[in-house]
Chains A and B, each alone.
Chain A
Amino acid sequence: MTGMRKNAAVPIALLAALCTVLAGFLVLDRAFKLDRQLEVSRTRAHLWLRPLALAVESGAGGPEQIAALAGAVRRADPRIGELQVLTGTSFLYHSDPLKLGAGVDPGDVADKSLYDSGVEIRYLLKSARRKPYLLDLDHKAGTLALSEPALKGRRKSMGTLRIGYGLEKVRGAMDGRIWVLFLALFLAFYFMKGKFFKWRWPLAAAFLLIALAAGSLLLLANEGRNQAQAGAAKRAHLAEVGAVLAREAPELLPVFAADLKGGSFSDMLSEWKTARFVPAGEMEDSASGGERVTMPGGDAIAVEADTAAQAERRRQSVRQLKVVLAVFGLLAGLLLFFIMAGYALRALRALNKHRYSYIMVFPAMVGMIALVLLPFLYGLSMAFFRVPPSQSGKWVFVGLQNFVKILTDFHPLTPENFYFILLVTLMWTLINVFLHVSIGLTLAIILNKPGFPLKRVYRVLLILPWAMPSYITALIWKGMFHKQFGAINAFIKLLGFEPISFFNNFWTAFFANVATNTWLGFPFMMVICLGALQSIPTDLYEAAQIDGAGKWQQFKSITMPLLKPALFPAIILGTIWTFNMFNVIYLVSNGEPNRSTEILITQAYRFAFEKFNWGYAAAYSILIFLILLTYGIYTNRITKATEGVFD
């Protein structure tokens, strides 16, 4: 009892640390999201105000038309709270109908503040120390108020406009994925009880680190998504403004477009991380993330995502993240240090005690780490980025986007659909392994019959496919399946049928692949079976015969059980090889017809080296690896194939 109470301090500390980390991530994520949505709201408010300011500046149409336009703007967006256009001391438009046409009432708080804003903006314009806009945030009420001048020239204010705009509510941060972290937490403490008891501290610390890493990854991913959503919202809003303008004041459209191009407010826009607006013709590279927004009845305006500003924002958020991570990392590191110090001491002692073993393993280990483990981790990390095809390009972090894209593509008509290919791959593996084992076993049993004539000759000839290089085999079979000149079609013609073009139909192409791989793969299974059969003592069969067991019963009760230890590892290995059998698919059917006979590994290769979509290909490969790993662990548990090997 006392021991338990003494030990309870560490898990509680760990739990507290984990909860703090989680809470920190939640707060950070919410802050990021709020920030991004504020940015969108500011841009929307500004884009509503701007045409009105232009109308005042141009002086065309007169006060009635400006009022009408303002009314239309206010009706167009329910989030607009108040809207005022003030010139001198009288309102051209006021969202409160009682104030329309009236002068500024110094006793009214709202009027007073607007008037003061106008004064301040005029002062700012003169001193030009700051950009002439004023923003008031009221987080409690969920609104912002934006005041801007209508300018004459560069310095002279003609009037002040103000808009009150409702902020969007920010939903609970980190969505459902936060539960993954809680799951990690749960697992950390779950494992402490069972057979991992002696590893509970390092495990918990590791989970803490994993939670840190996963949280920051999710945070970054969310931030990327927020950014993309913000960009899309801004672009959509531009079209909205354009529609109102086209309806109410079409003559203002070109002025608006010219203004967007980077007139007086371009600095402000870029500071607000809005899109940078360029007339369609002038955009240099519309392919680089640019987009066109066509305004109804007006010019097409190309909108180019302001990547520089976005990158700055990204850097800023990463900086913030780094600070938080550094603090938590330091805490976790300290914890880990104290826990691991003991283990390190023990490890050093072990290293010294077993130094001879480690020296012998060392060279192989270095090679494996440098050329297997590091590339693997590199490939692993690639799956979370958008990797440009050129090596000099910058990686863009996209979180789990690659995986989501692969796994949520359910479109049944695209043969590149992951699930379709997975199905083909499973079918391919099952059929092949079944054929390899059944043919190999049959031949082995026949050749193992005592006194079977020409045994050795057959054996040598039947191993031939294994001895041949597989790429040559694959290419030979591709030639054999050739429509006009292949031996298979010659045979079919001989039988009196029409020649088949094997690679125009899924099933025939699939058949061609399977035939090739069966030819390639059965000798391995045959050799394994032969070896195992030969090691079964013959007196077992004799004893069974004396006991009156039939041939089938002998096979079932003696041969099969004694074959198992050799056959199961071979089957597991064969399954993994077939699952990743690149050569046959790539060289025989090459995915024809229409990429439908592709298996996962060849599809991943295509994404990597034909489409140069490396992040996507890496994500694809990781899915393959996970499938195989699950299979390996599962079969290992069932067959205990590797049991005894570790003794």
Chain B
Amino acid sequence: MEKKNKRSFRERVIGALLQFFILLFTIGTVYPVLWVFKIAFGSQKGLSLSLSLFPAQPTLENFNHILFEKPFFIWLLNSLIVAAATSVIGIFLAATAGYAFSRFRFPGRTAGLLSFLITQMFPGTLMMIPLYLIVNWLGLLDNLAGLVLVYSTSAIPFSIWMLKGYFDTIPKELEESALIDGASRTLIFYKIILPLAKPALAVTALFSFMTAWNEYILAATFMNRELSYTLPVALRNFVGQFAQDWGLFAAGAILVSIPIVALFFILQKYLVSGLTAGSVKG
């Protein structure tokens, strides 16, 4: 009796310590985010030297400024168009390819899969110059289509791998019975496989969307007119070489992050299964 009590006491202490640790860690993790809120709602242009998370004089000045005195909605539209187009094109191309890689054995399959993996190792700087020249040659500099083109191809390898991993987990028997019933390959793909793969498609689309929504370097290199900026480029310029307007940046950062964070949390339950589906198998 005594012994059992003792152990549960020890466990309780450990539990409390763990709680405390996690709590501290979570505060540390969330603090920078809250700090951004403080600056966004604060009245100074710059930063403020205090640990407190509440601005001295809360105001919506920064939001007002960025929303109505800057072409924020044009930037938002640019970012939305680029990110949405990227994820749609990326998903369409990756779904068919991922399905083929998952279901069929054809010469060049292994080489193709491996080469997709290797492209992830290409340093961005090596690709940037040729991409710049290609986009320039196509006359798509300062044009959203150029960004979409570049983003969707860079998103494809990752998407193919993820979708292939998910397709692998769908039992083959479903297709076999459909085949026997006389369905065509194309019909099976659209009517059976795609509906079953919805969660994976969602996660993959989210990743493509996020990559495009968050990409900074290529956008900064390709887009030179203020009105063709995407949000990352526009935000960066608030605290870049020529300006130090942290309030404006913080307000913009909140506006940019909220939709993407919301999307992320809505889809996060698929995240783990999507990410580990391909790898846990082996």
Contact = CB atoms under 8 A, between A and B. Distances in A.
A361 B235 contact: no
B97 A576 contact: no
B32 A461 contact: no
Contacts of B47: 479, 482, 484-486
B249 A371 contact: no
B281 A494 contact: no
Nearest to B30: A461
Interface residues of A, number: 104
Given A350-B106, A467-B264, A364 B123 contact: no
Interface in A568-586: 569-570, 573, 576, 580, 582-583, 586
Interface in B150-194: 150, 152-154, 156-157, 160, 165, 185
Given A489-B49, A618-B129, A646-B113, A464 B33 contact: yes
B126 interface: yes
B268 interface: yes
B100 A368 contact: no
Contacts of B130: 374-376, 378-379, 382
A337 interface: no
Interface string B210-246: 1001101100010000000000100110010000001
Contact of B281 (A375, A382, A644): A644
A328 interface: no
B1 interface: no
Nearest to B94: A364
A431 interface: no
A604 B126 CA distance: 8
B275 A528 contact: yes
B195 interface: no
A368 B93 CA distance: 10
Nearest to B134: A375
A317 interface: no
A614 B185 CA distance: 48
Contact of A371 (B115, B123, B136, B149): B149
A464 to B, nearest CB: 6
Nearest to B152: A367
A484 B107 contact: no
Of the listed residues A477, A531, A601, the one surrounded by the most CB atoms of chain B closer than 10 A to its CB is: A531
Interface in A546-598: 565-566, 569-570, 573, 576, 580, 582-583, 586-587
A256 to B, nearest CB: 47
B118 to A, nearest CB: 7
Interface in B20-41: 21-22, 25-26, 29-33, 35-36, 39
A236 interface: no
A469 B94 contact: no
A371 B132 CA distance: 11
Contacts of A494: 51
A469 B110 contact: no
Interface stretch (A93-101, A139-147, A284-292, A351-359): A351-359
B29 A464 contact: yes
A476 B36 contact: yes
B117 A628 contact: no
B198 to A, nearest CB: 19
B123 A604 contact: yes
Given A531-B273, A532-B280, A357 B100 contact: yes
Interface stretch (A112-120, A121-129, A619-627): A619-627
A487 interface: yes
A469 B31 contact: no
Interface stretch (B2-10, B54-62, B65-73, B255-263): B255-263
B240 to A, nearest CB: 10
Interface string B125-155: 1111111011010000000000001101110
Interface in A452-490: 452-453, 458, 460-473, 475-480, 482, 484-487, 489-490
A168 to B, nearest CB: 41
A394 to B, nearest CB: 15
B275 to A, nearest CB: 6
B247 to A, nearest CB: 11
B121 A614 contact: no
- Grouping DSSP codes into helix (H, G, I), strand (E, B) and loop, the A interface class, with mixed when no group exceeds half, is helix
B164 to A, nearest CB: 8
Given A361-B101, A617-B129, A644-B282, A464 B30 contact: yes
Contact of A490 (B39, B51, B97): B51
Interface string A433-469: 0000000000100110100110000101111111111
- Grouping DSSP codes into helix (H, G, I), strand (E, B) and loop, the B interface class, with mixed when no group exceeds half, is helix
A601 B121 CA distance: 12
Contacts of B221: 609
Contact of A391 (B133, B157, B279): B133
Contacts of B152: 367
Contacts of B157: 368, 372
A365 interface: yes
A495 B253 CA distance: 30
Given A446-B22, A624-B123, A487 B118 contact: no
Nearest to A460: B265
Nearest to A633: B118
B48 interface: yes
A7 interface: no
A443 B25 contact: yes
Nearest to B277: A531
Given A361-B112, A372-B153, A469-B256, A640 B32 contact: no
B257 to A, nearest CB: 5
A484 B31 CA distance: 19
B186 to A, nearest CB: 9
Interface in A369-391: 370-372, 374-376, 378-380, 382, 391
B256 to A, nearest CB: 6
A241 to B, nearest CB: 45
A347 interface: yes
Interface in A522-543: 527-528, 530-532, 534-535
B271 interface: yes
A519 interface: yes
Nearest to B31: A487
The 6 lowest CB-CB distance pairs between A and B, nearest first, are A485-B47, A531-B272, A621-B126, A644-B282, A375-B130, A354-B106
21 contacts: A350-B106, A350-B107, A357-B106, A360-B96, A360-B100, A361-B96, A363-B93, A368-B116, A368-B156, A370-B153, A443-B25, A462-B25, A470-B214, A471-B232, A471-B236, A535-B276, A605-B124, A605-B217, A609-B221, A617-B129, A640-B282
Interface of A: 347, 350, 354, 356-358, 360-361, 363-365, 367-368, 370-372, 374-376, 378-380, 382, 391, 443, 446-447, 449, 452-453, 458, 460-473, 475-480, 482, 484-487, 489-491, 493-494, 519, 527-528, 530-532, 534-535, 565-566, 569-570, 573, 576, 580, 582-583, 586-587, 600-601, 604-605, 608-609, 614, 617-618, 620-622, 624-625, 628-629, 632, 640-646
Given A471-B236, A604-B123, 6 more contacts: A361-B101, A467-B264, A472-B256, A473-B32, A566-B279, A604-B126
